[in-house]
Structure 1
Amino acid sequence: MDAHTSIRLIEGRGVEGDRYLTGRGKYSQIPDIREVTLIEIETLIALDRDHGITLTPDEHRRNLTTSGVPLNHLVGKRFRVGDTILLGGRLNTPCRYLDLVTDKSVYDLMHHRSGLNCSIVQGGMISVGDVIQPE
Protein backbone atom coordinates (compact mmCIF):
# COMPACT_ATOMS: atom_id res chain seq x y z
CA MET A 1 0.00 0.00 0.00
CA ASP A 2 1.33 3.40 -0.98
CA ALA A 3 0.12 6.88 -0.08
CA HIS A 4 -0.47 9.32 -2.94
CA THR A 5 -1.40 13.00 -3.11
CA SER A 6 -3.64 12.31 -6.12
CA ILE A 7 -5.00 9.29 -7.99
CA ARG A 8 -6.89 8.65 -11.21
CA LEU A 9 -10.19 6.77 -11.08
CA ILE A 10 -11.20 4.97 -14.26
CA GLU A 11 -14.94 4.92 -14.94
CA GLY A 12 -16.48 1.48 -14.45
CA ARG A 13 -13.11 -0.10 -13.68
CA GLY A 14 -11.23 1.15 -10.64
CA VAL A 15 -8.20 3.03 -9.37
CA GLU A 16 -5.30 3.32 -11.79
CA GLY A 17 -2.61 0.84 -10.69
CA ASP A 18 -4.79 -0.77 -8.00
CA ARG A 19 -4.61 -4.53 -7.41
CA TYR A 20 -8.35 -4.92 -8.12
CA LEU A 21 -8.15 -3.04 -11.42
CA THR A 22 -5.39 -5.42 -12.49
CA GLY A 23 -7.19 -8.53 -11.13
CA ARG A 24 -4.55 -9.26 -8.46
CA GLY A 25 -6.66 -8.39 -5.39
CA LYS A 26 -7.38 -11.03 -2.76
CA TYR A 27 -11.08 -11.02 -3.72
CA SER A 28 -10.78 -10.14 -7.43
CA GLN A 29 -12.53 -13.33 -8.53
CA ILE A 30 -15.62 -12.57 -6.39
CA PRO A 31 -18.00 -10.22 -8.25
CA ASP A 32 -18.83 -7.15 -6.16
CA ILE A 33 -18.99 -3.37 -6.18
CA ARG A 34 -15.43 -2.47 -5.29
CA GLU A 35 -14.11 -0.19 -8.00
CA VAL A 36 -13.02 2.16 -5.22
CA THR A 37 -13.34 1.82 -1.44
CA LEU A 38 -13.41 4.67 1.06
CA ILE A 39 -12.82 4.58 4.82
CA GLU A 40 -13.24 7.27 7.47
CA ILE A 41 -10.16 8.60 9.29
CA GLU A 42 -12.48 8.77 12.30
CA THR A 43 -12.54 4.95 12.34
CA LEU A 44 -8.75 4.85 12.53
CA ILE A 45 -8.73 7.48 15.28
CA ALA A 46 -11.34 5.50 17.28
CA LEU A 47 -9.33 2.27 16.96
CA ASP A 48 -6.33 4.02 18.48
CA ARG A 49 -8.27 5.96 21.12
CA ASP A 50 -10.58 3.15 22.27
CA HIS A 51 -8.43 0.06 21.74
CA GLY A 52 -4.83 1.26 21.50
CA ILE A 53 -4.52 -0.11 17.95
CA THR A 54 -2.81 2.14 15.44
CA LEU A 55 -3.96 1.39 11.89
CA THR A 56 -2.46 3.94 9.55
CA PRO A 57 -3.96 5.05 6.22
CA ASP A 58 -1.33 3.06 4.35
CA GLU A 59 -2.31 -0.14 6.24
CA HIS A 60 -6.12 -0.27 6.04
CA ARG A 61 -6.18 -1.58 2.43
CA ARG A 62 -8.90 0.84 1.28
CA ASN A 63 -8.28 3.24 -1.60
CA LEU A 64 -9.28 6.56 -0.04
CA THR A 65 -9.28 7.88 3.51
CA THR A 66 -12.01 10.46 4.14
CA SER A 67 -12.59 12.97 6.92
CA GLY A 68 -15.75 14.57 8.27
CA VAL A 69 -18.26 12.61 6.16
CA PRO A 70 -20.28 9.68 7.57
CA LEU A 71 -19.88 7.13 4.79
CA ASN A 72 -22.86 5.05 5.97
CA HIS A 73 -25.08 7.90 4.75
CA LEU A 74 -23.73 7.59 1.19
CA VAL A 75 -25.02 4.07 0.50
CA GLY A 76 -27.13 4.30 -2.66
CA LYS A 77 -26.17 7.96 -3.23
CA ARG A 78 -24.22 9.62 -6.02
CA PHE A 79 -21.56 12.06 -4.89
CA ARG A 80 -18.70 14.05 -6.35
CA VAL A 81 -15.06 13.91 -5.23
CA GLY A 82 -12.57 15.96 -7.26
CA ASP A 83 -13.28 15.37 -10.95
CA THR A 84 -15.13 12.12 -10.28
CA ILE A 85 -18.67 11.00 -9.54
CA LEU A 86 -19.09 7.92 -7.35
CA LEU A 87 -22.10 5.81 -6.42
CA GLY A 88 -22.09 4.44 -2.88
CA GLY A 89 -22.66 0.70 -3.26
CA ARG A 90 -22.52 -1.16 0.01
CA LEU A 91 -20.73 -0.93 3.31
CA ASN A 92 -17.47 -2.80 3.17
CA THR A 93 -17.30 -5.96 5.23
CA PRO A 94 -14.16 -6.38 7.31
CA CYS A 95 -12.18 -9.52 6.65
CA ARG A 96 -9.69 -11.52 8.66
CA TYR A 97 -7.17 -10.99 5.86
CA LEU A 98 -6.62 -7.46 7.21
CA ASP A 99 -5.70 -8.96 10.60
CA LEU A 100 -3.28 -11.31 8.84
CA VAL A 101 -1.43 -8.72 6.75
CA THR A 102 -1.24 -6.09 9.50
CA ASP A 103 -0.75 -8.47 12.44
CA LYS A 104 -3.41 -6.43 14.28
CA SER A 105 -6.73 -7.69 15.61
CA VAL A 106 -9.18 -5.25 14.03
CA TYR A 107 -11.73 -7.58 12.37
CA ASP A 108 -14.32 -7.51 15.17
CA LEU A 109 -13.68 -3.83 15.93
CA MET A 110 -14.33 -2.67 12.35
CA HIS A 111 -17.75 -4.28 11.90
CA HIS A 112 -20.00 -1.58 10.33
CA ARG A 113 -16.97 0.77 10.17
CA SER A 114 -14.86 -0.87 7.48
CA GLY A 115 -15.59 1.59 4.67
CA LEU A 116 -17.83 2.08 1.66
CA ASN A 117 -17.49 0.23 -1.65
CA CYS A 118 -18.35 2.43 -4.62
CA SER A 119 -18.82 2.34 -8.37
CA ILE A 120 -17.07 4.96 -10.47
CA VAL A 121 -19.79 6.69 -12.51
CA GLN A 122 -17.45 9.33 -13.94
CA GLY A 123 -13.70 8.90 -13.87
CA GLY A 124 -11.12 11.57 -13.23
CA MET A 125 -8.58 12.74 -10.69
CA ILE A 126 -8.95 12.88 -6.92
CA SER A 127 -6.45 14.80 -4.78
CA VAL A 128 -5.81 15.15 -1.07
CA GLY A 129 -8.15 17.82 0.25
CA ASP A 130 -10.92 17.30 -2.33
CA VAL A 131 -14.35 17.68 -0.74
CA ILE A 132 -17.10 15.05 -0.94
CA GLN A 133 -20.24 16.76 -2.26
CA PRO A 134 -23.70 15.44 -3.11
CA GLU A 135 -24.29 15.03 -6.83
Structure 2
Amino acid sequence: MNGVGTAERIYTAPDAGVEMVERSDVEAVAGRGLRGDRYFSDIKTGTFVTWDADEDRKDGYDLTLIEAEAVEAIEREAGIELAPGEHRRNVVTRDVALNHLVGTRFRVGSVVCRGHRLCEPCGYLQDLLGEDVLDALAHRGGLRADVLETGVIRPGDTVEPLD
Protein backbone atom coordinates (compact mmCIF):
# COMPACT_ATOMS: atom_id res chain seq x y z
CA MET A 1 0.00 0.00 0.00
CA ASN A 2 1.25 3.42 -0.84
CA GLY A 3 0.22 6.77 0.60
CA VAL A 4 -2.54 7.46 -1.95
CA GLY A 5 -5.56 5.21 -2.24
CA THR A 6 -9.19 5.29 -3.26
CA ALA A 7 -12.60 5.18 -1.64
CA GLU A 8 -14.34 2.06 -3.01
CA ARG A 9 -17.68 2.00 -1.19
CA ILE A 10 -19.67 4.29 1.12
CA TYR A 11 -22.19 3.31 3.79
CA THR A 12 -24.39 5.03 6.35
CA ALA A 13 -26.91 3.77 8.90
CA PRO A 14 -29.72 6.06 10.08
CA ASP A 15 -29.93 4.39 13.52
CA ALA A 16 -27.82 2.22 15.80
CA GLY A 17 -27.84 -1.48 14.93
CA VAL A 18 -29.71 -1.17 11.63
CA GLU A 19 -28.29 -2.45 8.36
CA MET A 20 -25.77 -0.18 6.66
CA VAL A 21 -27.03 1.37 3.41
CA GLU A 22 -24.64 1.66 0.46
CA ARG A 23 -24.53 5.17 -1.01
CA SER A 24 -23.45 6.51 -4.39
CA ASP A 25 -22.30 9.70 -2.65
CA VAL A 26 -22.64 11.34 0.73
CA GLU A 27 -22.19 14.86 2.05
CA ALA A 28 -19.61 15.04 4.84
CA VAL A 29 -20.25 18.09 7.02
CA ALA A 30 -17.48 19.62 9.14
CA GLY A 31 -18.01 18.87 12.82
CA ARG A 32 -21.13 16.77 12.13
CA GLY A 33 -20.20 13.75 10.01
CA LEU A 34 -22.07 12.11 7.15
CA ARG A 35 -25.53 13.42 6.34
CA GLY A 36 -27.98 10.57 6.94
CA ASP A 37 -25.71 8.63 9.31
CA ARG A 38 -26.54 7.76 12.92
CA TYR A 39 -23.80 10.01 14.31
CA PHE A 40 -24.80 13.10 12.27
CA SER A 41 -27.45 14.22 14.74
CA ASP A 42 -26.78 16.73 17.51
CA ILE A 43 -28.14 14.09 19.86
CA LYS A 44 -26.23 10.83 19.74
CA THR A 45 -28.02 7.94 18.07
CA GLY A 46 -25.03 5.60 17.87
CA THR A 47 -24.08 2.84 20.26
CA PHE A 48 -20.93 3.75 22.19
CA VAL A 49 -21.01 7.43 22.96
CA THR A 50 -23.36 9.79 24.74
CA TRP A 51 -23.82 13.49 24.11
CA ASP A 52 -26.76 15.85 24.17
CA ALA A 53 -27.52 18.95 22.11
CA ASP A 54 -26.02 21.17 24.85
CA GLU A 55 -22.72 19.24 24.97
CA ASP A 56 -19.73 19.46 22.63
CA ARG A 57 -19.62 16.70 20.07
CA LYS A 58 -17.07 14.03 20.89
CA ASP A 59 -14.05 13.55 18.61
CA GLY A 60 -13.77 10.60 16.25
CA TYR A 61 -17.46 10.04 15.44
CA ASP A 62 -17.82 11.92 12.14
CA LEU A 63 -16.50 9.21 9.84
CA THR A 64 -15.14 5.66 9.99
CA LEU A 65 -13.01 3.99 7.34
CA ILE A 66 -11.77 0.43 6.78
CA GLU A 67 -9.30 -1.02 4.28
CA ALA A 68 -10.73 -3.41 1.68
CA GLU A 69 -7.50 -5.36 2.13
CA ALA A 70 -8.34 -5.95 5.83
CA VAL A 71 -11.82 -7.26 4.96
CA GLU A 72 -10.27 -9.56 2.34
CA ALA A 73 -7.59 -10.72 4.79
CA ILE A 74 -10.03 -11.82 7.49
CA GLU A 75 -11.87 -13.91 4.93
CA ARG A 76 -8.62 -15.47 3.72
CA GLU A 77 -7.01 -15.93 7.15
CA ALA A 78 -9.98 -16.60 9.46
CA GLY A 79 -12.66 -17.76 7.05
CA ILE A 80 -14.91 -14.85 8.08
CA GLU A 81 -16.79 -13.47 5.10
CA LEU A 82 -18.43 -10.11 5.69
CA ALA A 83 -21.30 -9.04 3.45
CA PRO A 84 -21.00 -5.48 2.11
CA GLY A 85 -21.45 -3.02 4.99
CA GLU A 86 -21.33 -5.66 7.75
CA HIS A 87 -18.06 -4.18 9.02
CA ARG A 88 -20.13 -1.15 10.21
CA ARG A 89 -17.64 1.36 8.75
CA ASN A 90 -18.64 4.28 6.50
CA VAL A 91 -15.94 4.22 3.82
CA VAL A 92 -14.10 1.22 2.39
CA THR A 93 -10.68 2.22 1.04
CA ARG A 94 -8.02 0.52 -1.04
CA ASP A 95 -4.25 1.10 -1.22
CA VAL A 96 -3.95 3.42 1.77
CA ALA A 97 -2.63 2.43 5.21
CA LEU A 98 -5.32 3.86 7.48
CA ASN A 99 -3.41 3.17 10.72
CA HIS A 100 -0.79 5.66 9.51
CA LEU A 101 -3.41 8.41 9.34
CA VAL A 102 -3.97 8.63 13.12
CA GLY A 103 -3.20 12.24 14.08
CA THR A 104 -2.88 13.24 10.41
CA ARG A 105 -4.96 15.43 8.13
CA PHE A 106 -6.06 13.63 4.98
CA ARG A 107 -8.41 14.13 2.07
CA VAL A 108 -11.19 11.86 0.81
CA GLY A 109 -12.34 13.42 -2.45
CA SER A 110 -13.09 17.05 -1.58
CA VAL A 111 -13.45 16.35 2.16
CA VAL A 112 -10.62 17.17 4.57
CA CYS A 113 -10.47 14.97 7.68
CA ARG A 114 -8.21 14.28 10.63
CA GLY A 115 -7.55 10.72 11.75
CA HIS A 116 -8.48 10.52 15.42
CA ARG A 117 -7.87 6.92 16.52
CA LEU A 118 -8.04 3.31 15.40
CA CYS A 119 -11.52 1.82 15.15
CA GLU A 120 -10.86 -1.47 16.88
CA PRO A 121 -13.47 -4.23 16.66
CA CYS A 122 -15.76 -4.64 19.65
CA GLY A 123 -18.09 -7.12 21.29
CA TYR A 124 -21.08 -5.25 19.84
CA LEU A 125 -19.83 -5.85 16.28
CA GLN A 126 -19.11 -9.48 17.14
CA ASP A 127 -22.65 -9.91 18.54
CA LEU A 128 -24.20 -8.34 15.43
CA LEU A 129 -22.22 -10.60 13.11
CA GLY A 130 -22.31 -13.78 15.16
CA GLU A 131 -18.65 -14.24 14.18
CA ASP A 132 -15.44 -14.07 16.22
CA VAL A 133 -14.09 -10.91 14.59
CA LEU A 134 -12.22 -9.48 17.60
CA ASP A 135 -8.93 -11.23 16.89
CA ALA A 136 -9.37 -11.22 13.12
CA LEU A 137 -9.81 -7.42 12.96
CA ALA A 138 -7.49 -6.42 15.82
CA HIS A 139 -5.39 -3.41 14.74
CA ARG A 140 -6.98 -3.46 11.27
CA GLY A 141 -10.57 -2.61 12.10
CA GLY A 142 -10.23 0.82 10.55
CA LEU A 143 -9.93 4.47 11.49
CA ARG A 144 -12.17 6.97 13.29
CA ALA A 145 -11.89 10.46 11.84
CA ASP A 146 -13.27 13.97 12.20
CA VAL A 147 -14.50 15.99 9.21
CA LEU A 148 -12.66 19.33 9.11
CA GLU A 149 -13.90 20.69 5.77
CA THR A 150 -17.31 19.96 4.25
CA GLY A 151 -17.60 18.23 0.88
CA VAL A 152 -18.93 15.15 -0.91
CA ILE A 153 -17.44 11.65 -0.89
CA ARG A 154 -18.01 9.31 -3.85
CA PRO A 155 -16.68 5.86 -4.78
CA GLY A 156 -13.51 6.33 -6.80
CA ASP A 157 -12.42 9.43 -4.86
CA THR A 158 -8.76 9.69 -3.94
CA VAL A 159 -7.75 9.16 -0.30
CA GLU A 160 -4.45 10.89 0.46
CA PRO A 161 -2.56 12.26 3.46
CA LEU A 162 -2.08 16.04 3.63
CA ASP A 163 0.41 16.28 6.53
TM-score band w.r.t. shorter chain: over 0.9
Q: TM-score, normalised by structure 1?
A: 0.94
Which runs of no fewer than 5 residues in structure 1 stay unpaired? none
- Give 1:106 shift: 0.4
Q: Secondary structure at the match of 1:69?
A: coil
Which runs of no fewer than 5 residues in structure 2 stay unpaired? 1-19, 52-57
Instruction: Report the CA distance shift for 1:55/1:66 in structure 2 as closer, same or farther (over 3 A).
Output: same
Partner of 1:5: 24
Q: Determine which of 45, 50, 54 is the counterpart of 1:29.
A: 50
| Misfit runs of 4+, over 4 Å | none
Partner of 2:34: 15
C-alpha RMSD over aligned residues: 1.3
Partner of 2:141: 114
Q: Letter of the aligned partner of 1:27 in structure 2?
A: F
Q: Letter of the aligned partner of 2:156 in structure 1?
A: G
- Give 1:32 shift: 4.0
1:1-135 residue pairs with structure 2 within 5 A? Answer: 1-22=20-41, 23-29=44-50, 31-135=58-162
Q: Secondary structure at the match of 2:126?
A: helix
Q: Secondary structure at the match of 2:147?
A: strand
Q: TM-score, normalised by structure 2?
A: 0.78
